[in-house]
Amino acid sequence: MLRIVWLDVNASHSHSSLALPILHRSCESLPCEWHVVPHSLKTDPAHTACRIVDLRPDVVLATLYLFTRRTVLDVLVRAKKLYPDCFVVVGGPECLGDNRDLVAGACGVDAAVRGEGDLALPALLQARIRGEDCTRLSGFCLQTPQGTYVDNGYAEKAENPFACQTPLGKDPFFKTAGPFAILETARGCPGKCMFCTSCGDLPVRNRPLEDVEGELRELCATGIREIRVLDRTFNLVPDRSCSLLRLFRTQFPDTRFHLEIHPEFLTPREQRELAEFAPGKLHLEIGIQCTEEQVLHSVHRGQSANKALEGLAFLTSLPGVQTHTDLIAGLPGQTWQHVLQDVLTMLQAAPDEIQLEVLKVLPGTPLDEQKEVLGLVSSPVTPYEILRTDTMMATEVLQAKRLSRLLDEYYNESSLRIAFILLVRQIADLAHLLRWHECTSPEMQPRALEKRFQSLFTLAEGHEDLRDELRMGWMGRGFSPTHGICDASVWKHSVPIHAEKLWDDTDTADTTRLRVWHVFLDEGEAWFAYNRGKSQHRPVAAWTTRRNGVRQNKRNENET
């Protein structure tokens, strides 16, 4: 019986990888005894190493991701020193490049798997059980006993990674205690985006729809109400995506689904299916990356920017759908002005979130192989971010990072979003706001939400319509009506019948403990009902007579 220890490290408490249950299921026919040793980013690596050694494992397994690599290796190198007899194997995206340094001895790693492990790991464990030589196994990078480095290329791809009869949700190592579960309905991607670890010869393999439905029923039976679908491009095949959307909506109406959508490929049928979802039940991640087609083509991301923006405009128009857009700064040929224009274009589209990330030149990707030819200078250590390009100076890359922080603190906070858009339109362009942000938050550390409100309120002096948006957002967040940016007083009368109701959650509140606050606005008035009980910082209803007031149809988007 082979004793196996899985070192379980995740980037956060809410995230959990499918790697362990998938690999365990692929090896279930082998005589192995599996143990899991969890490790958090705050745990002493020596403590976790001792826990591994106490189990006297034959094989130690771990997955290396961008943000966990250093943490995992800190544990493994200690465990290997304490117990040299164990055979340490790692896999994951961080093993797609040259693994010579990884298995040279200093990291405590004996072998690294490049590619999918469904077939590679069972072959390795079987060789260890039989005492056979494993230096020729497909996909493994390792050293021979004589110290020679061996690179056996990529692991053999599983023709049908979903063929195992045991549902993944029933695997003993599948986690159901987190806030969400991850579901794999397809594997592989036909795209050739040079910056992506999925770029390459990875055929798309689809899971049968009946198996997807069965897996979802298993997951929902455990009480899980949010599913994040791993598919790289969910709407790759319209017939299949429409069937899945219909399945999600009709058979699992109480479950929220997170999908990655390519807006350029949306068909009218898919648009109709998306429009049918109830509010709060769909979160879409939309990969725009860049709106300059020449830049996109330079990294083999062949798309029409105009068609992608048309698809994005449709998705952001759906009142029941939460939209998250991705942008990248530092692509080959991209300039700082391109980045600013991309953000302005996204502000015009007004998705719920805009994520701007500096390009990461990941090991094993075509971009990493060609970075010198393309004029890219990147960090040699995680997270491998761009430092400089032929068209962006190092200072401009740093400005892109600050712009990302600015968007996170102001635009991606739902109660500040409208005010931020008005700010850019009426008062200051993005370059001016970046200089302001550098003065108010020089260390780029997160600031309390009340401080952000107050900073914008000061900046908006003389623009009462913008200040009114901030007052509405302040009250909608439940901050103090009398100690802050509002001029509010207790309202002891009935709310005027001509006032427009913005939202009303009073059916979930103790109406005997409500206090209504009256707020003067530049072009009208507003009334907010606060619960004075246990949820006193949660307003439960709001009305306004303001003609241009914020329509908060997605008021609870940040809570779902």
Helices (H) and strands (E) counted in the chain, each on its own, are 16, 22
pLDDT at 87 over 70: yes
Both 181 and 324 in a single domain?
yes
Question: Mean pLDDT across the stretch 308-332?
Answer: 95
* Of the candidates 375, 366, 346, 267, the residue with the CA atom closest to the CA atom of residue 311: 267
For 389-418, write each residue's pLDDT tens digit. Answer: 999 999 999 999 999 999 999 999 999 999
Instruction: Inform me whether the pLDDT recorded for 511 exceeds 70.
Output: no
pTM above 0.85, yes or no: yes
Decide if 180 is inside a domain: yes
Contacts of 416 (CB under 8 A, 6+ apart): 410, 452, 453, 456, 470, 473
Beta strands 111-113; 87-91: pairing state: parallel
Regarding whether 144 and 196 lie in a shared domain, the answer is no
329 shares its domain with 195: yes
Q: Please give the pLDDT value at position 424.
A: 94
DSSP conformational letter for 371: T
Lateral strand order in the sheet of 111-113 = 32-39, 2-9, 59-63, 87-91, 111-113, 140-143, 149-151
In this prediction, residue 489 carries a pLDDT of 92
* 203: confidence class by pLDDT, cuts 50, 70, 90: confident
> Which of the four pLDDT bands, split at 50, 70 and 90, describes residue 28?
confident
Contact 479, 451 (CB under 8 A): no
Distance CA 487, CA 467 (A): 12
Q: Of the residues 392, 412, 432, which one is the last residue of a structural domain?
A: 412
Res. 440: pLDDT tops 90: no
Considering 412, 438, 456, which residue would you say is the last residue of a domain? 412
- AA letter at 107: C
CA 60/CA 387 separation, integer angstroms: 35
Shared domain for 140 and 180, answered yes or no, is no
Range of the domain at 142: 2-151
**So what's the pLDDT on residue 436?**
92
| 351 vs 392: CA distance, rounded Å | 27
Residue type, 269: R
557 — pLDDT class (breaks 50, 70, 90) = very low
Q: Decide if 247 contacts 208 (C-beta within 8 A).
A: no
> Tell me, what's the pLDDT at 534?
55
Residue 114 has pLDDT above 90, yes or no: yes
Q: How confident is the model at residue 226 (pLDDT cuts 50, 70, 90)?
A: very high
Which position has the token pair 């709310």?
495
Q: What is the pLDDT of residue 164?
A: 67
Amino acid identity, position 350: A
pLDDT value of residue 165: 53
Residue 14 inside a domain? The answer is yes
Q: Are residues 27 and 143 in the same domain?
A: yes
* Percentage of the chain exceeding pLDDT 70: 93
Highest-scoring range by mean pLDDT, 223-237, 293-307, 373-387: 373-387
CATH assignment at residue 127: 3.40.50.2300
**Same domain as 56, residue 112:** yes
For residues 15 and 22, give the distance between their C-alpha atoms in angstroms, rounded to a whole number.
Answer: 16
pLDDT, position 192: 85
| Burial bucket for residue 36 (CB in 10 Å: 0-12, 13-18, 19+) | middle
Number of domains forming the structure of the chain = 2
Tell me the per-residue pLDDT of 174-201, one tens digit each, with 9 for 90 and over: 777 777 888 889 988 888 889 988 876 6
The CA distances from residue 170 to 33, 161, 259, 349, in Å, are 18, 16, 23, 42
For the stretch 128-177, pLDDT in tens is 999 998 899 999 999 888 889 999 999 988 888 887 655 666 778 877 77
Higher pLDDT, 49 or 220: 49
Return d(Cα 187, Cα 193) in angstroms, integer.
16
Structure tokens at 201: 């010869």
